[in-house]
Amino acid sequence: MDQPSYVRIATDLRRRITVGELQPGARLPARHELAAEYQAAEGVVREATQLLLREGLLVSRPGAGTFVRQRPQRRSLVRSWFRERQAGSPFRQQMAEQGRRGSWEYSSDTMQAPAEVRERLGLGEPDGDRHDVMRTVYTFSSDDEGPWMLSTSWEPLSITKGTPIAFPEAGPHAGQGVTHRFAAIGVQVDAWDEEVWARAATVDEAKQLGVGAGSIVMVVERAYFAGEQVVEVADIIVPAESTKLVYNGPVGER
Amino acid sequence: MDQPSYVRIATDLRRRITVGELQPGARLPARHELAAEYQAAEGVVREATQLLLREGLLVSRPGAGTFVRQRPQRRSLVRSWFRERQAGSPFRQQMAEQGRRGSWEYSSDTMQAPAEVRERLGLGEPDGDRHDVMRTVYTFSSDDEGPWMLSTSWEPLSITKGTPIAFPEAGPHAGQGVTHRFAAIGVQVDAWDEEVWARAATVDEAKQLGVGAGSIVMVVERAYFAGEQVVEVADIIVPAESTKLVYNGPVGER
DNA sequence: TCGAATTTGTGCGTATGTATC
DNA sequence: GGATACATACGCACAAATTCG
């Protein structure tokens, strides 16, 4: 009784999967069968399989069964690269994938930045109720698989107000990306910074991304800099079960 | 009945937290109280709170209660930077933190690389049972908080065998890091590549890291390159609830 | 110091809804 | 349509940790 039963059962199931006794795609015995096999209640077996579902080793389909996941295929989201590797390399492929057919929806509005965003933008104290940021909410979808990335960006109105780029997705520079848009008003974006972590999805996020409640998402907090000035921050949410973030760079000082 | 009860309850609790009705550090009503309040069974309430536990909004202490988590403090693990920002900036702090007092344990052995590692190292087919990689398993601990990072690295023996750096943590170049060690045998490491995702921790990982079973970890698959040759790959595991990965770089072509 | 009350974690058994085959 | 399987929900019981008088 050192470990809870459901942990023991999960461990044994994981072992059976990794040694190949349960092949990818294979269906697990039904709950009541596993319960009999492990001499445990069905609820306990369920907790065990839930653990493995969250680990990404299993997938379940109501009415059909619980299956060993096929080699998890993750979309590679290339966040940085410092040189082109030769054709045919993984990088080429990933870049190509990333640029593949897809679409996005967005909506922009001005608002007063919440405290946490103020801090990231270096905004200082709010001025009454005055709106001081442009917020844009994006949903990115691939044509074949539906939504796969959510993003919310904030840009200080102190920089963009009255310029042609105030609305990120309107005007002559719509959809051109932060770097190009700010270049159009003479602001040279020269650096980025991303902080990555992960947590369970909120209900909203899970619904928008079409994943189960409580499944895992990665959060990328991005900032773009022009010198020491932060010109944009964004929160990017992707499902961890289907996405990898790819970073690469050179070794050594510069 | 559009959404399951436990999702509705979780949503309402999240709302009560975000609007400040439940302050950080505050204790939630006990299970049976929430059950009465929401007209649901205790098990359902438990599922709701588990959702929020995994989201990181709540923490529970057996016997004591369930509490709204204080502002989550995450250790910043700086994985890349391309220039020093001025003193006092977050980067300086993070770099300092990262270099702070800590310790690690390791063990090395030779083995035949498993298929997945072969692929990442570009090794080709195995030669009988012959050992072809040096595997080193690390546990990193901070002096005050115990283990916080696990790492397993693989280096091809075809490169290091018979050299002073064959054992990463022994010999004249012990503990110097991949770049310096390989430089010592004339191999110039010039690039790195990291792929990041997240999943639930395995039982082993959870135990080693001192976190709950099924809590979320981030996985970093790292590769070091010398030209087109992969000289080292590593899997790095950190608990998502207490760690951020930090990347940054320059904007534009080079 | 000790014991009683409280609270979470775990486990059991059952019932019902709904999707799949 | 019927059988099967998972998802959800209910209610109960007990162990272990904590709290507090």
Provide mean pLDDT across the span A66-77: 84
Q: What is the Cβ-side half-sphere exposure of residue B17, based on CA atoms within 13 angstroms?
A: 26
Smallest Cα–C1' distance to nucleotide D8: which residue has it?
A: B4
Beta strands B75-78 and B65-68: pairing type?
unpaired
For the segment A113-158, what is each residue's pLDDT rounded down to a tens digit?
A: 999 999 999 998 998 999 999 999 999 988 777 788 999 999 999 9
Say what the alpha-carbon torsion angle B226, B183, B114, A12 is, to the nearest 10 degrees: -120
The single-letter code of the amino acid at A68 is V
B10 touches chain A (CB under 8 A): yes
Q: What is the CATH number of domain B75-248?
A: 3.40.1410.10
Q: Which two tokens stand for residue A166?
A: 């105030």
For the segment A152-209, what is each residue's pLDDT rounded down to a tens digit?
A: 999 999 999 989 999 988 888 887 889 999 999 999 999 999 999 999 888 788 888 8
For B83-105, give one letter per residue: b (16+ CB within 10 A) or e.
Answer: eebeeeeebeebbeeeeeeeeee
Provide mean pLDDT across the span A106-111: 95
Which of B18, B195, B230, B237 has the most A C-beta neighbours within 10 Å, making it the best mutation to test the interface with A? B195
* Residues of A whose CB is below 8 A from B251: 179, 189-192, 224
Please report the pLDDT score of residue A155 as a whole number: 97
Grouping H, G, I as helix, E, B as strand and the rest as coil, residue A18 is helix
For A40-61, give one letter per residue: b (16+ CB within 10 A) or e.
Answer: beeebbbbbbbbbbbbbbbbbe
Grouping H, G, I as helix, E, B as strand and the rest as coil, residue A122 is coil
- Are A203 and B10 a contacting pair at CB < 8 A? yes
- Are A250 and B190 a contacting pair at CB < 8 A? yes
Smallest Cα–C1' distance to nucleotide C21: which residue has it?
A: A64
More confident of the two residues A31 and A212: A31
Q: Which two tokens stand for residue B84?
A: 């020093």
pLDDT in tens, chain B (254 residues): 578 899 999 999 999 998 989 999 999 999 999 999 999 999 999 999 999 998 888 999 999 999 998 876 788 898 887 655 444 444 444 555 555 557 889 999 999 999 999 999 999 999 999 999 999 999 998 877 778 899 999 999 999 998 999 999 888 888 788 999 999 999 999 999 999 999 988 878 888 888 877 788 999 999 999 998 999 999 999 999 889 999 998 886 54
Q: Which two tokens stand for residue B1?
A: 């009945």
Task: Report yes or no: B182 and B165 within 8 Å, Cβ to Cβ.
Answer: yes
A91: pLDDT strictly greater than 70: no
Selection from B225, B214, B220 nearest residue B237 by Cα? B220
Q: Give the distance from residue A46's alpha carbon to the nearest chain B alpha carbon, in angstroms.
A: 13
Task: Report yes or no: A3 and A46 within 8 Å, Cβ to Cβ.
Answer: no
B76 touches chain A (CB under 8 A): yes
CA distance A196 to B77: 10
Selection from A229, A221, A220, A225 nearest residue A123 by Cα? A229
DSSP B60-85: EETTTEEEEPPS---EEEE---SSPP
CA distance A151 to B143: 37
For the segment B171-203, what is each residue's pLDDT rounded down to a tens digit?
A: 888 878 899 999 999 999 999 999 999 998 887
A13: pLDDT strictly greater than 70: yes
Q: Which CATH class is domain A5-68?
A: mainly alpha
- Are A190 and B240 a contacting pair at CB < 8 A? no
Grouping H, G, I as helix, E, B as strand and the rest as coil, residue A246 is strand
Question: Scanning the structure block, which residue is given the tokens 């039963």?
Answer: A5
Q: What residue ranges do the domains of chain A occupy?
A: 5-68, 75-248
- Are A203 and B228 a contacting pair at CB < 8 A? no
DSSP chain B: --S-HHHHHHHHHHHHHHTTSS-TTPBPPPHHHHHHHHT--HHHHHHHHHHHHHHTSEEEETTTEEEEPPS---EEEE---SSPPPTTSHHHHHHHHHTSSEEEEEEEEEEPPPHHHHHHHT--S--TT---EEEEEEEEEETTTEEEEEEEEEEEHHHHTTSTTSSTTSSTTTTS-HHHHHHTTT----EEEEEEEEEEPPHHHHHHHT--TT-EEEEEEEEEEETTEEEEEEEEEEEGGGEEEEEEEE-S--
B59 touches strand D (CB under 7 A): no
* Residues of B whose CB is below 8 A from A243: 197
Task: Report yes or no: B155 and B110 within 8 Å, Cβ to Cβ.
Answer: no
Nearest nucleotide, C1' to the C-alpha of A65?
D5
